[in-house]
Amino acid sequence: MGHGAVARGSMTAPAVHLSGALHGAAGPLIDHFDLTLKAGQWNVLLGPSGVGKTSLLRLLAGLPTVARLEGRIATDDDRPLAPRVAMMAQDDQLLPWAYAVENVTIPARLRGERADPDRAAALLAEVGLRAELRRKPAQLSAGQRQRVTLARTLYEDRPVVLLDEPFSALDVVTRLKMQDLAARLLCGRTVLLITHDPAEALRLADHAWIVSRHGVAPCPLPKTPPPRRIDAPETLAAQADLLRRMGLASPAQVA
């Protein structure tokens, strides 16, 4: 096992190294980058839309993308990454005709695996949806649908979890609750969160980087452990510094 790998069940939460250049269909996205996602911790990529963050995520997940990586993706234990990845997208991607408990197990069933409804129900209870097992997506609020998606991600039980702006469609209060819930339930996994929100990055990140056309630059973070209080003086000071680094004058300018 590599030095940074963290045990989780029968699998490991590895460190993941990415390096090279990223090209999109219309031309270069990131000229050069070299970063390591730390094992068993929350790693955050922050930057504006269209800079290539989601493309990097899809490459890590082994999903189709028009982007092309000239470089390498490697784990610190030299084991394949794709079988150890679960991904939670911005869109909840729930099937409208299926109950919440069925939506949790759908990815496994599509792979031909036998569903475990008891485990799915336990995970829904864990995310606060014990009473919504037999509800369909149209009967759930946006926050409840996101919690079903989080339960589905947990059901996959992968040591590497990729989050593509999963809370951006939620109101502020629900978003903060979902951040706290995800931080607790994904503890010990190698997490990569993609976001354009500096406040979210600063709340959740153990390590964070700003992505731009020119490369990937590390972000200084408060010394307090995540999830951080959003109104803490050190968090607010770090947010102001991060906005300056991103070329923004105030939170109102963040799309």
pLDDT tens for each residue of the chain, 255 residues long: 444 554 444 467 999 999 999 999 888 999 999 999 999 999 999 988 888 999 999 999 988 899 999 999 999 999 999 889 999 988 889 999 999 999 999 999 999 999 999 999 999 999 999 999 999 999 999 889 999 999 999 999 999 999 999 888 788 888 898 999 999 999 999 999 999 889 999 999 999 999 988 899 999 999 999 999 989 999 999 888 888 888 765 444 443
**What are residue 35's DSSP bridge partners?**
18
Residue 253 lies in a domain: no
Residue at 131 is within a domain: no
Sequence-distant (6+) residues with CB within 8 A of 28 are 21, 22, 213
Query: Can you read off the two tokens belonging to residue 234?
Result: 């050190």
User: Which residues sit opposite 204 in a β-bridge?
Assistant: none
Is residue 109 situated within a structural domain?
Answer: no
In a 3-state reduction of DSSP, which class is residue 208? strand
Token pair recorded at residue 232: 């803490």
State the Cα–Cα distance between residues 205 and 110, nearest whole angstrom: 32
Q: Are 69 and 24 in contact (CB under 8 A)?
A: no
Q: What count of other Cβ atoms lies within 10 Å of the Cβ of residue 48?
A: 15
Is 126 inside any structural domain? no
pTM here is 0.89
Question: Terminus-to-terminus CA distance in the chain, angstroms?
Answer: 41
Residue 75: inside a domain: yes
- Residue 189, domain CATH: 3.40.50.300
Q: Which helix (H) or strand (E) holds 70?
A: strand 68-75
> 223 lies in a domain?
yes
Q: Is 52 left (phi over 0), alpha (psi -120 to 50) or beta?
A: left
Tell me how far CA of residue 132 lies from CA of 128, 143, 144, 152, in angstroms.
Answer: 9, 12, 9, 14
Specify if 128 maps to a domain: no
Q: Look up the domain containing 35 and give its range.
A: 6-95+159-248
**Structural domain tally of the chain?**
1
φ and ψ of 206, to 5 deg: -85, -30
Helix (H, G, I), strand (E, B) or coil at 26: coil
**Is residue 213, in this structure, part of any structural domain at all?**
yes
Tokens 């964070």 — which residue?
208
CA angle 103, 84, 29 (to 5 degrees): 95
